[in-house]
Amino acid sequence: MADDRSRAPQARTRLARRAVLDAARGLFLERGYGATTIEGISSASDVPQATVYRLFSSKKGILKALLDTSVAGDDEPVPVAERSHVRSLMDVTRPEDSLARLAAVSVDINTRIAPIYRILVSAASSDTDAATILDDLTRQRQEGQGRVASALEGAKALRPGLGADDAGDVIHALASPELYHLLVVDRSWSAERYERWLAEALTSQLLP
């Protein structure tokens, strides 16, 4: 009984967070980041402004949380880098399989973040908070992709003359949200087609 009572506030907090993030996503897409206010998010989510501020501190905090949940696919408090499907990328026993898994993870993430990423990029041109979030996301992508490249180099799996730094740059470019948007959104490729192409492109560019 005591456990049920202790879990109830946590459940309410999670529901409130989800309501705020859902409302913010809709308003960001409809109005843009700059034109959306905490007051509007509070009204759309039916969560008091004081609670919104307590949960996220600011509109920047809401955008960051929205991006984080989009990258992860849920709101569980487990960093993306520590999740099993991401850790599996460091197993380069079979480099082709590792790159195929990397392609699948990249496409999953890019599919989830595509709408929010467009909002973020647009807002970053005039909003310093959004620009900071975009820079952080880019750095995190580079670091994660660099670790995969280093693992491939350590296993002597990269093609001759290609080092980890350059391999990381290749991964960063081919698996980027921008290229995903160009091929999947602008050119109407299916996500499955892009994933197959990405796996093949990574293999041909990185491996002997």
Alpha carbon distance 134, 124 (integer Å): 7
Domain shared by 71 and 169, yes or no:
yes
Least confident of 36-45, 77-86, 91-100, 199-208: 77-86
Q: Domain of 40?
A: 1-57
Of the pLDDT bands very low, low, confident and very high (cuts 50, 70, 90), residue 5 is low
Domain shared by 31 and 130, yes or no:
no
Are residues 195 and 103 in contact, defined by beta-carbon separation less than 8 angstroms? yes
Per-residue pLDDT for 2 more than 60?
no
Tell me how many degrees the CA angle 107-198-78 measures, rounded to the nearest 5.
Answer: 35
Among 57, 77, 99, where does a domain finish?
A: 57
State mean pLDDT over 98-105: 96
Residue 188: how many other CB atoms lie within 10 Å: 8
pLDDT at 1: 44
pLDDT at 155: 96
Q: What percent of the chain has pLDDT over 70?
A: 95
DSSP 182: I
DSSP-H helix ranges across the chain: 2-31, 38-45, 49-56, 59-72, 84-87, 95-124, 128-154, 164-174, 177-180, 191-206
Domain shared by 189 and 143, yes or no:
yes
CATH number for the domain harbouring residue 12: 1.10.10.60
Domain shared by 142 and 160, yes or no:
yes
Are residues 148 and 90 in contact, defined by beta-carbon separation less than 8 angstroms? yes
Of the pLDDT bands very low, low, confident and very high (cuts 50, 70, 90), residue 28 is very high
Domain shared by 68 and 36, yes or no:
no
Tell me the CA distances in angstroms from 5 to 15, 17, 109, one per residue in order: 16, 19, 36
pTM above 0.75, yes or no: yes
Domain shared by 39 and 67, yes or no:
no
pLDDT digits (tens, 9 = 90+) for 121-171: 999 999 999 999 999 999 999 999 999 999 999 999 999 999 999 999 999
Domain shared by 154 and 64, yes or no:
yes
CB neighbour list of residue 179: distance below 8 Å, 6 or more residues apart: 173
Tell me the CA distances in angstroms from 115 to 54, 120, 124, one per residue in order: 26, 9, 14
Tell me the CA distances in angstroms from 19 to 30, 32, 48, 89, 151, one per residue in order: 17, 18, 11, 33, 40
Per-residue pLDDT for 3 more than 90?
no
Domain shared by 81 and 177, yes or no:
yes
Domain shared by 8 and 64, yes or no:
no
pLDDT digits (tens, 9 = 90+) for 47-74: 999 999 999 999 999 999 999 999 888 8
Closest C-alpha to 20, from 29, 49, 34:
49
CATH number for the domain harbouring residue 71: 1.10.357.10
State mean pLDDT over 174-185: 97
Domain shared by 36 and 67, yes or no:
no
Domain shared by 50 and 85, yes or no:
no
